[in-house]
Homo-oligomer: A and B are copies of this chain.
Amino acid sequence: MVRIADQYRREELLDAISAYIAKNGVADVSLRPLAKAVDSSPRVLLYYFGSKEKLMAKAIMRLRERQRATFGKMRVGRYRQPSDACRAIWKWMSAPESELAFQLSLETYALALRHPKRFAFFLSSAVEDWLEFLAEPLLRQGYSTREARAFATVVLAGFRGFMLDYCASHDRKRVDKAVEMWLETLNTLHPNTEKSHGH
């Protein structure tokens, strides 16, 4: 027997917990302050989620889904040039509202690398989700899976690297200029016509 209203409560709690984590980070979460913030009690949180570890996993997964849904709406396929799509993505990524989200994913990333077993669910999708998203328009254009994924890898690495720089330095001018330089090179990058496999 499971009370219907209580299942709602569980989802409600998960949302509140995710919001709390998005604001406060994943590293220093402890049950009592968290419970107070989401208007509950440690006892109830453990009742619903079993343990703090499971609770964190669920909250992180929810945040990941949210973020995926957000950037899934971008429809990058409509751009002519790869660089135009990437420029749009970069504009969205580097907006002030997104900075906290990147911080959070970075924190989770670091945590996951340190505890690969516990965060296997995160690590596996940390790259793959974005790769699929970025490679999909290329696949439509007829690129092979291998080539599209390699291209997407370059793009993803660039985004993340530039975000690391920008979040630490907040040097808009330098980073934006660098991104612009980088975007131009993306157009010269034609995965399907590349002939190098040596050096």
Q: How many residues of A contact B (CB 8 A)?
A: 49
Q: Number of copies of this chain in the oligomer? A: 2
Which residue of chain B has its CB nearest to the CB of A112?
A: B168
Chain A positions 30-86 with a Cβ under 8 Å from a chain B Cβ = none
Residues of A in contact with B (beta carbons under 8 Å apart): 25, 27, 103, 106-107, 109-114, 123, 126-128, 146, 149-151, 153-154, 156-162, 164-165, 167-169, 171, 174-175, 177-178, 180-182, 184-186, 188-189, 191, 194, 196
User: Can you list 16 A-B contacts with CB-CB less than 8 angstroms, sorted by A residue number?
Assistant: A106-B113, A109-B164, A126-B168, A127-B171, A149-B174, A150-B174, A150-B177, A150-B181, A154-B158, A157-B157, A157-B160, A157-B178, A157-B182, A160-B164, A184-B194, A188-B188
